[in-house]
Amino acid sequence: MNLQELEGLPMARLRTDFRVSAYLARLEAAGVYASVIRRGDPQAGAVEVKLARLDGRATLYTRIYGPEGESLWEPLGGLDAPEAEVDARISRRLGQDRDLWAIEVESRDGRHFLDSDAP
């Protein structure tokens, strides 16, 4: 198969567990603490990221796809909510979707690196 034939094929998606590992490594390299709250489906599970600001406030991000198919991260329930509300939202969502991954990022200054190639 030559390059022209490959261009017409859809790109293979990376496994979710691989993408999560790469995201965690990027955070660690930047000195930002993160942990997996729950592991979902290793191949194709969706990922949600809780950004805890360590002051009782948090934001829950989920991946959406824009009109051109681009991957975007959108806050669920607002940019800044009481952490207990975000935790309750995560618990409900995990109860509804057994394949869902949940990651918690702890950053006082709000660094989450979701604007780059995150899971």
At 28-59, the pLDDT tens digits run 999 999 999 999 999 989 999 999 999 999 99
> Checking DSSP bridges between strand 57-65 and strand 71-82, what pairing results, if any?
antiparallel
% the chain with pLDDT above 90: 70
pLDDT-derived band at 5, boundaries 50, 70, 90: very low
Say how far apart CA 110 and CA 32 lie, in whole Å: 10
Handedness of CA 16, 57, 33, 28 (dihedral sign): positive
Provide the whole-model pTM. 0.84
C-alpha torsion angle, residues 70, 75, 86, 51 (rounded to 10): 80
Q: What's the confidence (pLDDT) of residue 43? A: 93
Q: 85-93: long-range contacts (C-beta < 8 A, 24 or more apart)?
A: 86/50, 86/52, 86/58, 86/59, 86/60, 87/50, 87/58, 89/60, 90/37, 90/48, 90/50, 90/60, 93/48
Q: Please give the residue that has the higher pLDDT: either 69 or 92.
A: 92
Q: What is the DSSP letter of 15?
A: P
Domains parsed from the chain with CATH numbers = 32-103 (3.40.1530.20)
Give 29: exposed, middle or buried? Use CB within 10 Å, 0-12, 13-18, 19+: exposed
What's the pLDDT at 9? 44
Give yes or no for residue 103 having a pLDDT over 80: yes
pLDDT at residue 4 tops 50: no
pLDDT score of 2: 43
